[in-house]
Structure formats: C-alpha cells, structure tokens
Structure 1
Amino acid sequence: MQFIDSHCHINFPDLAVQADLLLQQMEQNQVSHALCVSVNLPDLPSVLAMAERYPNIYASVGVHPDYEDTPEPSVEQLVELAQHPKVIAIGETGLDYYRLEGDLEWQRERFRTHIRAARACGKPLIIHTRSASDDTLRIMQEERAGDIGGVMHCFTESWVVAEAAMAQNFYISFSGIVTFKNAVELKDVAQRVPLDRMLIETDSPYLAPVPFRGKMNHPALVKHVAEHIANLRGTSVAAIAEATTANFFQLFKAARQ
C-alpha cells in the first residue's frame, strides 16, 4: 500500500529546512511520491531544486491567482519552463475572489494563459478555485481545458461543481479540510466522487488533517486524508490508496512510478 501527496509546497522555507526529515517521514508512512507545486516564478528555482534533489519529488510551473504583484508569465515562458524533466504539470492556476477585490480581469487572463500553455505543452493543469467557481468553470470551457485535463486541487466546492469539473476531464483532490468536523458538504462530495476521479493531497504546510489540525502540515500526513475518506465511504484504506495512486500516474503521465 502506498499513498501520493498530489499537492504540497515543501519548498516553502519552514518545510525546506527539514526536507531530509520530511522525506524520511514520507517513507515511514508509505507516502511514495509528492508533487511540489509552484506559486510564482521568482520562487520556481526552489521548487525545481527540491525535485532535482529527490527522485520521488515532482514539480509544477505556474503562478497562483493570489499573487498580484509578481512577474506575469507568458504562454511561451510557461511552455519553455515546463520542458524541465521533473515538471509534470502547469499550475497552480485558477481564480480566487476570496482575498482580492476590485477588477480581477488580470486574474482571469492569467488563468487563460496557463490553460493555453498546458494545451501547448501537453501537461495537465492544477486548478485552484475559491469563491469563483462559475467563472472558473466558464473559462475552463472557453479555453478547452478539458482537452488536456487536470485536477481541481484542495476541493471545497459543491457536488454540482465537482460534477461539472469531472465532465471537463478533471480529477477532484481532497486535502485535510475533508477531515474537519464542519466540512459537511465536502464530506458528501468525498463519498460521491468516483474512485477513478479522486486524488489526495496535503497542500502543506497548510491545512493539516485531524488530529494534527493547527500544526504544520507535511506530505507524510496525507495518509490521514485517505483514512478519513475510506471511513466516510465504508471502504478500506488500501482501496483509497490504490485508486489515488493509480490516478496520479494516469493524470501526470510525465511522472514515473
């Protein structure tokens, strides 16, 4: 039995300083691989360095929608950066209307740029959406994101949104939020998503699952997400581990088992 953390930020300083320990803890907890996800271009070298250092760590290239004052990527730039042998995805990208206000057309244009880059380089998308599901799904449709597919990471939306995303060739990824007591609607989604469309993640250093809530998250804790989903669905942890591992390699075809 093995688990995969499909979304983490172990290049962030608080985790990077203990990288060797984190990798040991992953091994001890049967977490075989992790995807270290880019949030901006200035910090991309630290993401790539992590992936280059450890054979079982992969990388993505992208600029998070929350980063307003940061270098804006072009399609050509993203495609070029995605040629790195350890880069297996474009993102994280998407829309986030929760933290930012005003005219957010720049966010929507950035999202379109990422989708176009993903289609151009043939690598799937990692999509972040918060308080913006209608526009997210609309732009995915308009830019034909389904042609390349990807994952709705750290999913917190309704079953209706999950269905719409899956109809566009996207996987649904659950983080530690699904273990939180008040995440009632999300628990329902976790029970209903087909096993062949599910991924698990930590989004570390954030959102540590129960019973570690409030502490710094790290990839080894992804097994607790799997255990909670298994309990919700009345199935074995092994079934969740097997399905989400297979799905990871099915989606991220540039990754090697």
Structure 2
Amino acid sequence: MEIFDSHTHINAPQFDNDIPDVIERAAALDVTAMLVVGYDKNSTEKLKKLISIYPQIYGAVGCHPEDAEKFDEGYIKQIKEDLRVDRLNVLGEIGLDYHCAVEHKLQQDVFRAQLRLAHEINVPVTIHNRDAFDDVYRILKDEDVSSIGGIMHSFNGDATWAKKFLDLGMKLSYSGVSTFKNAAEVREAFMATPLDRILVETDAPYLAPVPFRGMQNEPGYIRYTLEYLAQLRGIEADILAKQTYQNTMEILGIK
C-alpha cells in the first residue's frame, strides 16, 4: 500500500529538529508521498530545501489569508519564481479565514488575485476555508476555478456543500477531523463524494486523528484516517489508498 498525504506542514517550526525521523516514521506506515504546503515566506524557503532533499515531497506555495496584509507585487513575483521549482506545482494554500483578524475585504482581494495568478501560470490551487463557505464558493465560481482545478483542503462542510464544490470541479481532501465524534456532517460529505474526487491529508502538525487527537500530528498518521474512512465506505484500505494517491497525482499533473 502507498499513501499520499495531500496536505502537510512539515515545514512548520514544530518539525525543525525532527524531519528525518518524521519521514522515516511516515514511510513505515506506507506514506510514500506528501504535498508540503507553504503558508508564508519562511515556510516556503524550508519547503524548497525539503524538495531538494526528499524526492517523495511535492510542494505548494501561496499567501495564506492570515498573511494577506503582506501580499504585494514582490510576493506575487516570488510565488511565480517558486512555482518554477521542480515538484513545486500547486498554488496554495489560499482562501479565506474569517476566524482570524485580517479584514475580510482584503482577504477576498488577495484570494481573487491569487486565483487569477493560478490561471495565468496554469497551476491548480489548494483552498483554505474557515468560517467562510459562502464567500469561498462565490469567489471560486466567479474566478472559474473549474478550468484550473483544485483541492478543498481539510474539507469540513456537509454533503450539500460537498456537492456545490464538486460541481465546481474541486477535489475534496478529508483530514483527521473526519474521525472526530462530533464530525457526523463531514462523514456524510465523505460518503457523498465520488471516490475519484477524494484526497486524504493530515494538515500536520494540526488535526491529529483519533486515537491521537490532541497530540502533534505528523504525516504517518494519515494511515489511521485512511483506514477509518475505508471502513466507513466499506472498502479495503489499499483500494482507497490507491485511488486517493491517483487523485492527488492527477491534481499535480503527473501521470
């Protein structure tokens, strides 16, 4: 079995002294590829170093909504340069976070600008959505996301929202949240998502699945989420692993 963690932050400070061990533990649990996501300039520099060392790492770069106040022409130029790096071929994570203090209109403007940039350089996107379903959906639809493709990272909506984003051509990535007792709506969304549109992710170091909830998450723990979701779906874990791996590679444009 080979598993692709479609969204992780092993470029976060929590992993500064532990990267080789984290990757080794992941491999022991059949996690053979991961999409490491930059969220600011410092994490992106770490990501580029990781890509140069580990062939199983792919990358995404972009301006996280919490960083929107720093977004300017220089930031755009750097994103364009970074996306020329081999295996760094997704723009993100981008989107809206109405839980943070950054003004909503500014977040929306930066989100739109980056979607237009993704069109310009023809790369898919990975989307951050926190407490902003209506506006994220509206902007993705306005900016024709279906023509570039993308991922709804750590999807935590219900089946109705799942259908709306699926209709935009998005793939939905399910995290450890789906294992939480209070996440019945997320499980319903998962059951309503076609197998060829599902990804799995850790969002490490956050959102560790049961039985590690409350602990620091890491890529290897995606094995537990995947096995839980496969059981929920009534299929073998290796079938879900193969399909989600293929789906992630498809987003990355790799055959």
TM-score (norm: length of structure 2):
0.95
Q: Deviations over 1:95-148 (max 9, x none)?
A: 1112336x4111001111111111112211000111111111111111111110
- 1:171 pairs with 2:171: yes
| Match in the other structure for 2:128 | 128
Shift of 1:75: 4.5
Q: CA RMSD in A?
A: 1.5
Question: Aligned letter for 2:114?
Answer: H
For 1:160 and 1:72, locate their aligned partners in 2 and report how far apart those are by CA, in whole Å.
35
Residue equivalent to 2:55:
55
Structure with more helix by fraction:
2
Shift of 1:72: 3.6
Superposition map of 1:104-123 within 5 A: 104-123=104-123
CA contact (8 A) 1:62 1:92 kept: yes
- How far residue 71 of structure 1 moved from its aligned partner, in angstroms, is 4.3
Task: Please identify runs of 4+ aligned residues in structure 1 that moved more than 3 A.
Answer: 68-77
Q: How many residues align?
A: 254
CA distance in 1, matches of 2:26, 2:160: 34
Residues in 2 aligned to 1:86 and 1:242: alpha-carbon distance in whole angstroms: 20
| Alpha-carbon separation, structure 1, partners of 2:143 and 2:68 | 22
TM superposition score normalised by structure 1: 0.94
Is the 1:126–1:150 contact (alpha carbons within 8 Å) kept by the matching residues of 2?
yes
| Residues in 2 aligned to 1:162 and 1:16: alpha-carbon distance in whole angstroms | 35
1:210-252 Cα deviation digits (max 9, x unpaired): 0011111000110111111111111111111011011011111
Measured at CA, do residues 77 and 14 of structure 1 come closer, stay the same or move farther in structure 2, by a change above 3 Å? closer
Name the aligned partner's letter for residue 78 of structure 1: I
The 8 Å contact of residues 69 and 106 in structure 2, kept in 1 or not, is answered as no
Distance 2:47 2:178 in 1: 26
1:88 aligned partner: 89
- TM-superposed deviation, 1:23: 1.1
Q: Which residue number in structure 1 is paired with residue 162 of structure 2?
A: 162
CA distance in 1, matches of 2:241, 2:110: 34
Aligned-pair identity in percent equals 34
